[in-house]
Structure 1
Amino acid sequence: MLVFSSLRFRALWSLVFVLGSVAIAVSLLAYFRDDRTPTFLIEKGDLRHQPLWRTAFYLHITSATVCLLTGPMLMVRRLIRFRKLHRWLGYAHLNSILWVAAPTGLILSPVSKGGPYAAVGFAITGVLWWITTWLGYRATVNRDLADHARWMIRSYSLSLGAVWFRLIQLAIAYGIPAVTARENYIASVWLSLLASVWVAESGLRVAFPVRPVPSSSQLEVLT
């Protein structure tokens, strides 16, 4: 995958996040079953019956599934060569984030499980997700493919925040059992955001290294 292409253990990184994305996408299917109500919805109480919240929730998890499943295919170098496929997958990915996943995420964030502290973290993630995706789209319009790749790597890394969130939540639950479920949830929200930003920026520094500007003395030697 492009975001991990120049990192150590890139195959392991790619495998973890592809499998994580697929696992989350599959787990979301539980919300469409009629025979059983998922625990998350039960915890929401009467809120889950409100039309606005319920519509936003199902639109969010559906579009998030599209993001998680199309994202890896858009980051594989060999598939990028198939321009028509890359373009159509890109349309699905961009539109699912810009007009569905990110906006509905902002609608859902004020009533998130972890209270106001988690709500702020989710809201910041949603805004950054929308902005990075939009800038990736604008770079395509301007035919700046390098800038497009940079912004879409940032966008996809934020999409992987869902994977980070669950990994961190499990790590805290088993590694620090004294932490309450609410504290774990809040910490996982913010740490997953930081992890997403760190992975993106670390990968970009390796994949797109900034070449130092030659000094005046070096330029004189070259001329």
Structure 2
Amino acid sequence: MTSTQAPAPPRQQTVWWRRPWIVPLMLVVAAFLAFSVPPYLTFDPAHSRLKPPEGNDFYYPLLVAHVLFGTVAMATACFQVWPAFRARHRAGHRVTGRIYVYAGALPAGVLGLYIGWYTSAGPSVLVANLVGSTLWLVVTLIGLRMALQRRYDEHRRWMSRSFALAMSIALSRVINIPAVIVLTPQVDTAFGGSEELMRNTATSIGVWLSPLLLLLLTDWLLERRKPRARRPVAARQPLPVSP
């Protein structure tokens, strides 16, 4: 007579409202895009938040394209990290994933290299932009490769890092505010009276610190949620039988 093992109970899916960070994340992204994108929809360089370099006719059109591709990346990334959407709408997850990669992260990252190279905010911001865009491209391509190889656990980890880098632009704007507040009293001392140098320094703090913080947070969360390997149970040794 053989014993049969009872089937495991079906895994219950967590409803969306039990993920308290989903709605705030989407609201933050929507607010950031509503504030940042409209000036570039006019296609008027006078409304640009970044100063175009003189004599460079390619900068502003490529900046607008970078902003639009980045908008696609940030909007679709929210659905990529939404566990309920990923679990219940796998076809939708694949579609939004392709849009995120091919119409968002990759073109925005490539254009970010060009925009970053011609920044007017100084060499520190230039290097930070180049490093950030390169990292975004690399981790996104690795995540895409993991998906094509059906290594989905690794795919999720790398795309989580790609998501963190996509959102770093929003966090950098937040960090700029306290950075300017702290550095403003030092304009006449540390910055020799140059308010522009002070603002460039505050911008540098934001573009360096935001991706670092988000990548550290992402990897901490990934390690925290990683299933721990069970320790092997030692086989019980039979008790000695006394003669």
Q: Give the 5 Å matches for 1:37-116.
A: 37-38=46-47, 40-41=49-50, 43-44=51-52, 46=54, 50-80=56-86, 81-116=88-123
Q: Tell me, in whole angstroms, the C-alpha distance in 2 between the residues paired with 1:30 and 1:222.
A: 72
Instruction: Flag as ranges the 4+ runs of structure 1 deviating above 3 A.
Output: 13-17, 174-177, 218-223
Once the two structures are superposed, residues 26-79 of structure 1 have per-residue CA deviations (whole angstroms, 9 ceiling, x without a partner) of 2212111267832524x33535xx332123211110100001111111111111
Structure 1 letter corresponding to 2:220: S
- Structure ranking higher on relative contact order (CA contacts 8 Å, 6+ apart): 1
Structure 1 letter corresponding to 2:37: L
The aligned counterpart of 1:33 is 42
Structure 1 letter corresponding to 2:176: Q
The aligned counterpart of 1:21 is 29
The count of corresponding residues between Structure 1 and Structure 2 is 208
Q: Tell me, in whole angstroms, the C-alpha distance in 1 between the residues paired with 2:27 and 2:102.
A: 23
3-state DSSP of counterpart to 1:178: helix
The aligned counterpart of 2:241 is none
TM-score by length of 2: 0.76
3-state DSSP of counterpart to 2:185: coil
* 8 Å Cα contact 1:31-1:37 kept in structure 2: no
The aligned counterpart of 1:156 is 163
Q: Tell me, in whole angstroms, the C-alpha distance in 2 between the residues paired with 1:34 and 1:129.
A: 26
Q: Tell me, in whole angstroms, the C-alpha distance in 2 between the residues paired with 1:184 and 1:98.
A: 26
Structure 2 letter corresponding to 1:17: L
1:144 to partner: Cα distance? 1.2
Q: Tell me, in whole angstroms, the C-alpha distance in 2 between the residues paired with 1:161 and 1:134.
A: 18
List runs of 5+ in structure 1 lacking aligned partners. Answer: none
Q: Tell me, in whole angstroms, the C-alpha distance in 2 between the residues paired with 1:104 and 1:83.
A: 30
Q: Tell me, in whole angstroms, the C-alpha distance in 2 between the residues paired with 1:171 and 1:96.
A: 33
* 8 Å Cα contact 1:97-1:130 kept in structure 2: no
The answer to whether 1:187 aligns with 2:196 is no
List runs of 5+ in structure 2 lacking aligned partners. Answer: 1-13, 187-197, 238-243
The match for 1:196 among 189, 210, 214 is 214
CA RMSD of aligned residues (A): 2.6
The aligned counterpart of 1:178 is 185
* 8 Å Cα contact 2:72-2:103 kept in structure 1: yes
TM-score by length of 1: 0.82
Label 1:97 to 1:128 Cα distance change in 2 as closer, same or farther (>3 A).
farther
* 8 Å Cα contact 1:66-1:96 kept in structure 2: yes
Label 1:167 to 1:213 Cα distance change in 2 as closer, same or farther (>3 A).
same
Structure 1 letter corresponding to 2:122: G
Give the greater-gyration-radius structure (CA). 2
Structure 2 letter corresponding to 1:148: H
